[in-house]
Chain A
Amino acid sequence: MSILKKIVTAIRGGAREVGESVVDANAIRILEQEIHDQQDAIAKAKDALTEVMADESKTGRQINAIKDRIAEHEGYASQALEKGDEALALEVAEKIAEYENELLEMQPVYDGYKTSVATLKDQIRKAEKSIQEHKRELSVVKTTERVQKARVSVNSSLSSGVSKSSAARDSLNRIKERQQRLDDKIKASETLNAENSDADLKARLSEAGIGETKSKANDILERLKKK
């Protein structure tokens, strides 16, 4: 059964601690062991493959050499016949028969090697595919385990913290309030800035003698003298 299917079965079975029920301590170990075994199997199969491939190529070369010899001797036999030397031709023909017997013996061996190579390659492909599948499953299991861990350790070590004790709505409201306060603060400081720049302008205007001019001591003195 695939890991995802196991998880769905656990969920439908009403398991609350889905993570734990799927990720028993053994699951990860078994998957890792299987990946390890498959990798071993691949390494061995590859060793065997290189040996068989060497044998295959050696036998192939031998077969070709024999075929060459046969062709060569067939030439000799024809030449002997042309020269009318039937005895010599027969001798050559016997040699050819020897070679052909050798060829007959070697061909099945060569075919055997060829089949072995194909089988080994097939096995390696299968093992690689299975490693890939196990790795994917392991990744699902580990993700499930990690998420579970995050949840469990958070509950046990931070149960006094804000995250657990505050209900969602409270959290939401607190964040909203904080954002509102921040907004208010920004607005307040903007207003303050605006006022400051306003005051600054008034000050510069009054210095230039525009707008409300401040009563100066001299003016007051003048006014008093006029009385």
Chain B
Amino acid sequence: MELKELAIQLSGYVQDGFKLDVLPIQENGDGEITVLQVIIEGFDELPIFVTATEEQILCVTNLFTQDEVKPDLIDELHQTMLRLSINIPLSSLGLIDDQYVLFGAMSINTLLDNIAHELVTQSENAFESLEALEEFLN
């Protein structure tokens, strides 16, 4: 499914009791949508950024930046994140530049219902991961 199509179909979609809000982002102003910002009702501060390749839909949620981490706990944080990642179904923790993220990927052929469900799950996972890792933050 193309991002534009996904944006149209996901906008206002209600999944598992949560309403989805979709904001398509054009990168170059040429009309091509490269990223969708999806907000799950109640998780406004943890938007999911959705992009796609020919094969995959990629979902990224920003958690915190490197400078938000207590410097003396950074090694322990990394160990904890590696261990924690296994316990989060279908999402993994990662680092893009200096931004720690929760990251999920699914097949481009995933049914809309399942995409919506994964997005809701990702928001819940992001919130719970942040809550679990709170003590490592400034």
Interface 9-mer from B59-67, B73-81, B84-92, B111-119: B59-67
> Shortest beta-carbon distance, A80 to chain B, in Å?
74
User: Please, how many residues of chain A have a CB less than 8 angstroms from a CB on the other chain?
Assistant: 32
**What's the interface size class on B, roughly?**
35 or more
Question: Is residue A26 contacting chain B, with contact meaning CB distance below 8 A?
Answer: no
Question: Is residue B72 contacting chain A, with contact meaning CB distance below 8 A?
Answer: no
Nearest B-chain residue to A170, judged by Cβ: B45
A144-193 residues with Cβ-Cβ distance < 8 A to B are 146-151, 153-154, 157-158, 162-163, 166-172, 174-176, 178-179, 182
Interface of A is mostly: helix
Nearest A-chain residue to B131, judged by Cβ: A172
- Chain A residue contacts of B68, Cβ below 8 A: 167-169
- Chain B residue contacts of A212, Cβ below 8 A: none
Residues of A within 8 A of B (CB): 16-19, 139, 142-143, 146-151, 153-154, 157-158, 162-163, 166-172, 174-176, 178-179, 182
25 A-B pairs with C-beta separation under 8 A? A18-B96, A139-B55, A143-B56, A143-B105, A146-B52, A149-B51, A150-B34, A150-B49, A150-B50, A153-B25, A153-B35, A154-B25, A154-B35, A154-B37, A154-B62, A158-B37, A162-B44, A163-B37, A163-B46, A169-B68, A169-B138, A171-B46, A172-B127, A175-B45, A182-B42
